[in-house]
A = this chain, B = another copy of it.
Amino acid sequence: MLYFDCDYMEGAHPAILQRLMETNMEHTYGYGKDAYCESAKAKIRTACQCPEAEIYFLVGGTQTNATVIRGFLKPFEGVIAADTGHIGVHEAGAIESGGHKVLTIPHKNGKLEAAAVKHYLERFYQDGSCTHMVQPGMVYISHPTEYGTLYTKEELKALRKVCEEYQLPLFLDGARLGYGLCAPGTDVTLADLAKLCDVFYIGGTKVGALFGEAVVFPKKNTVPGFFTLMKQQGAVLAKGRLLGIQFDTLFTENLYLKISSHAIEMAMRIKELLTEHGCPLYINSPTNQQFVVLNAAQREALKDRVSCETWEELENGAAAVRFASSWATKPEDVEELGRILKTLP
């Protein structure tokens, strides 16, 4: 069986495991106060060209989104997100659990458009009963989005402008950030994110780490007490160095981008193979998640040989499905996929 279900089916990049082995019996203090965390933070600051950045390491995505959002919002504020956003759908109400509404705006290609946000805010404040409604308190986007699509630098700047106009912090969920940074045609860099966002995170779980997300606040003291908030939210790892070691490895000799680039190459080849075979793209994604439509016969023919994720059931047994590559995808598996596709009806 070939597996293209998602980007978190394997363990960690071997260099990470190697480092964990080498350092295993060292003694370090807990909760992130160790030299590995410090080193990782320094390297991330450099990668972001942001020497002042405050950086925290958390374990997983849902917890990172929930903790960051709680850090910014007042009790009666909500977070603006695309209606497809992960926080609104697949996090089991983690945001509401903290008391906050997710204020959804229809997406376009998975993205939140600056104009749509502006329109929403204008209408909100024109509404005579707006003080009876959840106040918009921040803007959440993901990059890549749930559909694998990417913002351009211009789009991010436009969002930033709207955010500034309404004094809303901009939060970018980068659970798959590596795959976004290496995508063909993107003009968005880590340094750009550090300039345009109030907070973003660099995903580790889906990009080579066992687990871990690095939250970057480009400005110091953006959320006073953030460590205590993390502790309260169960997001502080006792053996914090495990996160430090992983991110230190990922940000040594450009490993994060190298392995992301590999995934992108694999994804582009997968796209090529699927379109050659005549499968329509469900959405045209430049990143490691590829969404195509398979008809019923194709699904049936593949089901015992290729594992991928059903995204949406369509008519007549067809479906939009997701093929995801990752740092761990083997070129031979992709070519095998090509051979299998050739045998399809």
Where the two chains meet, the residues of A that have a C-beta atom closer than 8 Å to any C-beta of B are 3, 5-6, 8-12, 14, 17, 20-21, 23-31, 59-64, 66-67, 70-71, 74-78, 89-94, 96-102, 128-129, 131-135, 205-206, 210-211, 224-225, 227-229, 231-239, 242, 310, 328
Contacts A70-B75, A92-B134, A225-B74 hold; do A29 and B11 have CB atoms under 8 A apart? no
Q: Are A94 and B234 interface neighbours, CB within 8 A? A: yes
Once the chains are docked, how many angstroms separate the CA of A26 from the CA of B92? 28
Say what secondary structure dominates the interface of chain A.
loop
Q: Min CB distance, A247 to chain B, in Å?
A: 15
Q: Are B229 and A75 interface neighbours, CB within 8 A? A: yes
Q: Are A99 and B91 interface neighbours, CB within 8 A? A: no
Contacts A96-B78, A234-B233, A239-B11 hold; do A228 and B17 have CB atoms under 8 A apart? no
Query: Which residues on the B side are within 8 Å of A96 (C-beta)?
Result: 78, 96, 99-101, 134
Q: Are A93 and B89 interface neighbours, CB within 8 A? A: no
Query: Which residues on the B side are within 8 Å of A64 (C-beta)?
Result: 234
Once the chains are docked, how many angstroms separate the CA of A237 from the CA of B62? 10
Query: Which residues on the B side are within 8 Å of A66 (C-beta)?
Result: 234
Query: Which residues on the B side are within 8 Å of A232 (C-beta)?
Result: 62, 75-76, 91-94, 97, 134
The number of times this chain is found in the oligomer is 4
Once the chains are docked, how many angstroms separate the CA of A10 from the CA of B21? 11
Query: Which residues on the B side are within 8 Å of A134 (C-beta)?
Result: 92-93, 96, 232
Query: Which residues on the B side are within 8 Å of A71 (C-beta)?
Result: 75
Q: Are B10 and A26 interface neighbours, CB within 8 A? A: yes
Q: Are A93 and B97 interface neighbours, CB within 8 A? A: no
Q: Which residue of B lies closest to A333 (CB)?
A: B27
**Of listed A76, A129, A328, residue having the most chain B CB within 10 A:** A76
Q: Which residue of B lies closest to A240 (CB)?
A: B8
Q: Which residue of B lies closest to A67 (CB)?
A: B234
Query: Which residues on the B side are within 8 Å of A27 (C-beta)?
Result: 3, 9-10
Q: Are A6 and B30 interface neighbours, CB within 8 A? A: yes
Query: Which residues on the B side are within 8 Å of A99 (C-beta)?
Result: 93, 96-99
Q: Are A91 and B17 interface neighbours, CB within 8 A? A: no
Contact pick for A8, options B23, B75, B210, B239, CB 8 Å = B239
Q: Are B24 and A228 interface neighbours, CB within 8 A? A: no
**Of listed A17, A24, A134, A206, residue having the most chain B CB within 10 A:** A134
Query: Which residues on the B side are within 8 Å of A131 (C-beta)?
Result: 92, 227-228, 231
Q: Which residue of B lies closest to A223 (CB)?
A: B74
Once the chains are docked, how many angstroms separate the CA of A27 from the CA of B3? 7
Q: Min CB distance, A166 to chain B, in Å?
A: 14
Q: Are B133 and A89 interface neighbours, CB within 8 A? A: yes
Q: Are A234 and B63 interface neighbours, CB within 8 A? A: yes
Contacts A8-B30, A90-B132, A97-B233 hold; do A239 and B211 have CB atoms under 8 A apart? yes
